[in-house]
Amino acid sequence: MVPEINGHETCKSKLLANPNCTTAIGLMALWPLHQAFGLKKIIMSTYQAASGAGQPGMDELREGTKELLATGKHMENKVFAHPLPFNVIPQIDKFMDNGYTKEEMKVAWECRKICDLGNGFPVSCTAVRIPTFRAHAESIVVETERPVDLDLARQVLSDAPGVVVVDDPAKMEYPMPAVATGKDDVQVGRLRKSIVFENGMEFFVCGDQLLRGAALNAVLVAEAMIGNGSLKPKVMA
Over the stretch 80-90, which tens digit does the pLDDT of each residue have?
Answer: 999 999 999 99
Known catalytic residues? 21, 136
d(CA 212, CA 18): 10
Query: Is 113 inside a domain boundary?
Result: no
Nearest to 24 by CA among 220, 214, 153: 214
pLDDT confidence of residue 231: 64
Counting the structural domains of the chain, the total is 1
Nearest to 51 by CA among 73, 27, 24, 22: 22
CB 166 within 8 A of CB 173: yes
pLDDT confidence of residue 22: 93
Query: Is 190 inside a domain boundary?
Result: yes
3-state secondary structure 100-167: CEHHHHHHHHHHHHHCCCCCCCCEEEEEEECCCCCCEEEEEEEEECCCCCHHHHHHHHHHCCCEEECC
pLDDT confidence of residue 130: 98
Query: Is 16 inside a domain boundary?
Result: yes
Query: Is 88 inside a domain boundary?
Result: no
Query: Is 149 inside a domain boundary?
Result: yes
Query: Is 187 inside a domain boundary?
Result: yes
Q: Which domain holds residue 162?
A: 3-46+137-227
Q: How far is CA 126 from CA 64, 74, 102, 122, 203, in A?
A: 25, 25, 11, 14, 16
pLDDT confidence of residue 234: 64
Q: Which amino acid is at 225?
A: M
pLDDT confidence of residue 5: 85
Spans in the chain with pLDDT lower than 50: none
pLDDT confidence of residue 162: 94
Query: Is 194 inside a domain boundary?
Result: yes
CATH number at residue 23: 3.30.360.10
Q: Which residues of 114-145 are buried (b: 16+ CB within 10 A; e: fewer)?
A: bbebeeeeebebbbebbbbebbbbbebbbbbe
Query: Is 210 inside a domain boundary?
Result: yes
pTM of the model: 0.90
